[in-house]
């Protein structure tokens, strides 16, 4: 109920701004115009939304796997950490907007370049959180494991990973929100389908209501992904 009340209040504020400012529809369409665009273009929005969703889910899955591998490797080996840590930081030092055109040039205008952008955005929070979580295991607990002569893999699975799970859960919640951003950035640079592609077409034709409709679908998709991630993690007790 609280979310519904907040949404209705934002729609009322939006309509008030449109009415009081007198902005033309091609600058700021009202909520009714956007809803009409949603209804009239629902098929096109659905097709492009599914394309963007596929990029998001595939990129998020790959980013999670790469992040887990990098986090484990850097936390368990000092030599690997010295090798990979600068590369991980460098991957985030360059703005993704600067890398997206290069990835499009290398991987083409299809799904590959968009998935790569999503991976670049999402893998680092996962890798960093897992690394920090594994390193945050209490030293006293590790001493007890050494005294018990527990194998290294058993210490990792039964002691260090449980301490790292809350850090990893927080990173997954962040990655779920960042993933749609990466997909749309890739589509803006160059694409033949997707919500970002549709927004560019609508902008070129001055169909601002369609742009807002695509943005609304993207926002709903992001909120749904975040809610699904949060619900899944809560079921796991995280």
Reading the chain (238 residues) residue by residue, the pLDDT tens digits are 677 788 788 888 888 888 888 888 888 898 999 999 999 999 999 999 999 999 999 999 999 999 999 988 887 777 887 888 787 777 777 888 888 888 888 888 889 999 999 999 999 899 989 888 888 888 777 777 777 777 777 777 788 888 889 999 999 999 999 999 999 999 999 888 999 999 999 998 989 999 999 999 999 999 999 999 999 999 988 8
> Of 1.10.10.1100, 1.10.3720.10, 2.70.98.10, 3.40.50.620, which CATH number belongs to 28-236?
1.10.3720.10
- Is there a contact between 121 and 181 (Cβ–Cβ < 8 Å)? yes
Distances (CA, A) of 54 to 177, 222, 230: 15, 13, 20
pLDDT (0 to 100) of residue 48? 96
Please tell me the distance from the alpha carbon of residue 39 to that of residue 53, in angstroms, as a whole number.
20
CB atoms within 10 A of CB 142: 14
Delimit the domains of the chain by residue range: 28-236
211: part of which helix (H) or strand (E)?
helix 208-235
Instruction: Report which of 196, 202, 232 is spatially closest to residue 217, judged by C-alpha positions.
Output: 196
Please tell me the distance from the alpha carbon of residue 91 to that of residue 155, in angstroms, as a whole number.
31
């Amino acid at each position: 109920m609280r979310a519904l009340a907040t949404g209705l209040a934002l729609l009322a504020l939006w309509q008030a701004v449109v009415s009081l400012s007198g902005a033309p529809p091609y600058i700021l369409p009202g909520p009714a115009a956007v809803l009409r665009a949603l209804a009239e273009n629902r098929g096109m929005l659905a097709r492009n939304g599914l394309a963007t969703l596929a990029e998001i889910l595939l990129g998020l899955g790959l980013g999670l796997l790469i992040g887990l591998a990098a986090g484990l490797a850097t936390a368990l080996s000092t030599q690997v950490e010295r090798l990979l840590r600068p590369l991980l930081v460098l991957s985030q030092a360059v703005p993704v907007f600067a890398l997206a055109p290069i990835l499009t040039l290398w991987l083409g205008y299809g799904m590959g370049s968009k998935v790569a952008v999503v991976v670049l955005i999402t893998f680092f929070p996962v890798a960093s959180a897992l690394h920090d979580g594994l390193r945050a295991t209490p030293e006293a607990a590790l001493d007890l494991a050494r005294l018990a002569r527990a194998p290294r893999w058993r210490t990792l699975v039964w002691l260090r990973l449980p301490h790292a799970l809350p850090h990893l859960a927080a990173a997954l919640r962040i990655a779920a929100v960042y993933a749609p951003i990466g997909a749309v950035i890739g589509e803006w640079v160059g694409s033949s389908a997707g919500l970002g592609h549709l927004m560019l077409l609508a902008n070129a034709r001055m169909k601002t209501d369609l742009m807002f409709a695509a943005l609304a679908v993207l926002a709903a998709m992001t909120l749904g992904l975040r809610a699904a991630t949060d619900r899944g993690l809560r079921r796991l007790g995280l």
